[in-house]
């Protein structure tokens, strides 16, 4: 009898251990999916560099979302099962529909605010303010909407990553900040946070990321289509314009955001947005390797600081098997 009970206890322990291993693997896999998606975002600037001379930043951003949003919506409609899931998402009540509408505005608003901020206050300051404010806005919105409280580890890693991004992007440069441009960059960070928190909340409720991304980016595509039409889109008719738009729309939008959505199944929004700070690291590396740009010693130090902070977050995701508890601080 005692042996029987011992055997049952051993089997239960093995099942628990197996479940914990799968849980940890899922959390690490989610973090890596977010990092891979952010790495693809980091190639956006390099790809846009090869756009025809007549293409404005706003026009490129609008074309990217119009194409990517249309494809993501088609993916969400691809099978009877996915269409049924999409219908379930849209029938989720007035509150959910309002959340989807606000997040779609956030997706489109980020493009317009970010590119306008860069034009007003420069690439360095605009990028630092936008990507540096997004994790802070995300943490605050997560708390205000009843999500898990960000933990000390997330706060420390986020602070280090934001500081590293600031050093990386502004290293060796001196530029004045335009108040209007800074305000637009802050608006871009808020738009990104609204999208990330909403998407994470809906995906974690059991809706597939393909349907969520299809609705959000399909809605953003509708919103930005008039912007594209009004931005002299003749450059799209050139071979180079087609190639650049295809890459931005399919690789840096469809594939990148599906990976990001996959990560949001297991990664809290504040952690995901901080992991997204890998984007400027990849952008800097591609600028160095592809565009022949140069990094100062200060910029290299910033790159290493960001990399270390993100590595700490990924390792932390795997080392804490209890992180799925919504009552536990995120990170």
Q: What is the pLDDT of residues 74-86, one digit of tens each?
A: 999 998 998 888 8
| 3-class state of residue 51 by DSSP | coil
Could you tell me the two tokens for 122? 């420069």
Residues in the chain with pLDDT values less than 50: 2, 12-20, 23, 174, 321-331
Residues near 177 by Cβ (< 8 Å), separated by ≥ 6? 121, 125
Domain boundaries in the chain?
24-319
CB 277 within 8 A of CB 162: yes
Angle at 264 between CA 246 and CA 269, to 5 degrees: 110
Q: What is the model's pLDDT at position 124?
A: 62
Distance of alpha carbon 60 from alpha carbon 39, whole angstroms: 19
Q: What is the model's pLDDT at position 265?
A: 85
The string of pLDDT tens digits covering residues 195-250 is 989 998 888 888 888 999 999 999 999 999 999 999 889 999 999 999 999 999 99
Q: What is the model's pLDDT at position 240?
A: 93
Distance of alpha carbon 328 from alpha carbon 147, whole angstroms: 10
Which among 112, 141, 150, 153 is positioned nearest to 199, based on CA atoms?
Answer: 141
Could you tell me the two tokens for 5? 């009970």
């Amino acid at each position: 009898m005692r042996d029987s009970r011992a055997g049952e206890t051993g089997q239960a322990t093995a099942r628990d251990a197996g479940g914990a291993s799968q849980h940890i693997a899922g959390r690490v896999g989610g973090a890596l999916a977010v990092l891979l998606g952010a790495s693809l975002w980091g190639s956006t600037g390099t790809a846009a560099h090869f756009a025809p001379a007549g293409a404005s930043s706003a026009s490129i951003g609008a074309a990217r979302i119009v194409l990517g949003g249309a494809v993501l919506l088609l993916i969400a409609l691809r099978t009877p099962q996915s269409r049924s899931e999409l219908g379930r998402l849209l029938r989720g009540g007035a509150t959910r529909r309002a959340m989807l509408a606000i997040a779609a505005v956030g997706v489109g608003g980020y493009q317009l605010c970010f590119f306008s901020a860069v034009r007003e206050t420069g690439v360095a300051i605009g990028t630092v303010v936008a990507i540096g404010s997004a994790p802070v806005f995300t943490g605050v919105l997560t708390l205000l909407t009843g999500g898990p409280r960000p933990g000390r580890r997330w706060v420390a890693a986020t602070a280090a990553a934001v500081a590293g991004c600031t050093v990386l992007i502004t290293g060796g440069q001196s530029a004045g900040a335009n108040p209007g441009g800074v305000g637009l960059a802050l608006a871009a960070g808020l738009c990104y946070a609204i999208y990330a928190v909403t998407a994470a909340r809906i995906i974690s409720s059991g809706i597939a990321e393909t349907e969520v991304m299809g609705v959000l980016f399909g809605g953003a595509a509708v919103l930005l289509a008039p912007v594209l039409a009004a931005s002299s889109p003749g450059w799209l008719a050139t071979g180079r314009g087609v190639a650049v738009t295809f890459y931005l729309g399919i690789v840096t939008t469809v594939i990148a955001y599906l990976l990001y959505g996959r990560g949001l199944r297991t990664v809290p929004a504040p952690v995901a947005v901080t992991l997204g700070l890998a984007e400027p690291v990849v952008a800097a590396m591609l600028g160095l390797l592809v565009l022949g740009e140069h990094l100062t010693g200060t910029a290299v130090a910033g790159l290493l600081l960001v990399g270390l902070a993100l590595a700490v977050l990924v390792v932390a995701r795997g080392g804490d098997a209890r992180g799925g508890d919504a009552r536990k601080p995120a990170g």
